[in-house]
Amino acid sequence: MTNTRNTGAKEKTGTAASTPSVTPVIADEGIAKLIDDLRRDFTCKLDAYGARFDTLEKLLAVSRQENRELQKAMEKKEQEIEGLRRTANDQEQYIRSWSIRIMDLPVPFGVDSHNNEVVMRLVYETVLLPIFQGAVSNNLIPNIPSCNQVLETAHILPAKNGATPPIIARFYSRNIKAMVFRLKKDFAPRTTSNHAGQQNTRKGPARFAHPFYEDLTHHNFTKMRDLARDERVQSCWSVAGHLRYKLKGDDQVKKVKCLYDPVDIIINS
């Protein structure tokens, strides 16, 4: 009896002693499972982010393509708009090809400056008639044309900064206008006084009393002005709306091939 109890005690004691060795295995399995779960969760999230990243890349590629196509469309529209601007400028210049712009021609006191007929006769008698008279005297034309044969109309433009307002005069014929420009150098009235009424001390021929030029569009006039202001340019003028110029130290007359080119490109072309 005594031995039996001792044996039982020993068995119980052996069982109790073996229990702690099972607990670390269970803990390790739990941690491993937790790590696996975390790994799977991380992998799933990583795959999801990767899918989203692929989607964003595709959207970005589509957006870039659409942007390139939009850029091309905008460039095409800009070219079309620029073409329309050039066409409009050319058409406006063609309409102006019958007209001249006269400077420094004051309207006498008491004259109705709003009457186009009166302004037209002022232009004819003061600016054009001396040219025709000189041409007849030199047998360049057979007779002096009348005002109504030469001019269609004339009107005064608004004055700027208190200066004498310019006058626009429109010819009936561009041929007559061209003839006036050919004869201008030899027979147009000149003055030896400056704007202040003082004697002109500049060397060379006296300036024109009432200078007149082709009536240019704003774009053409701006380009001619910019070209004339360049220190490399000796002189600049227009013929039938087309710009011509001479460089300093060069007698060759050059044509402006494209009004829309910068001055440097025009000069160096």
Residue 120 within any structural domain of the chain:
yes
Comparing CA positions, the residue from 191, 223, 229, 220 lying closest to residue 104 is 191
Residue 199 within any structural domain of the chain:
yes
Residue 165 within any structural domain of the chain:
yes
Q: Residue 194 and residue 192: Cα distance in Å, rounded?
A: 7
- 96-108 confidence digits (pLDDT tens): 999 999 999 998 8
Q: Residue 265 and residue 253: Cα distance in Å, rounded?
A: 16
CB 251 within 8 A of CB 245: no
Range of the domain at 166: 97-215
Residue 1 within any structural domain of the chain:
no
**Cα three-residue angle 189-125-169, rounded to 5 degrees:** 90
Q: What is the DSSP letter of 80?
A: H
Q: Residue 237 and residue 241: Cα distance in Å, rounded?
A: 9
Residue 133 within any structural domain of the chain:
yes
Residue 190 within any structural domain of the chain:
yes
Lookup: tokens for 256: 């402006």
- 76-100 confidence digits (pLDDT tens): 999 999 999 999 999 999 999 999 9
Whole-number Cα distances in Å, 146 to 128, 150, 169, 209, 244: 10, 6, 15, 22, 31
Comparing CA positions, the residue from 212, 221, 242, 240 lying closest to residue 102 is 212
Whole-number Cα distances in Å, 17 to 14, 194, 235: 5, 129, 118
Residue 243 within any structural domain of the chain:
no
pLDDT-derived band at 242 (thresholds 50, 70, 90) equals: very high
Number of domains in the chain: 1
Q: What is the CATH classification number for the domain harbouring 184?
A: 3.30.70.1820
- Of the listed ranges 32-41, 109-118, 177-186, the one predicted with least confidence: 32-41
> pTM surpassing 0.75?
no
Percentage of the chain exceeding pLDDT 90: 58
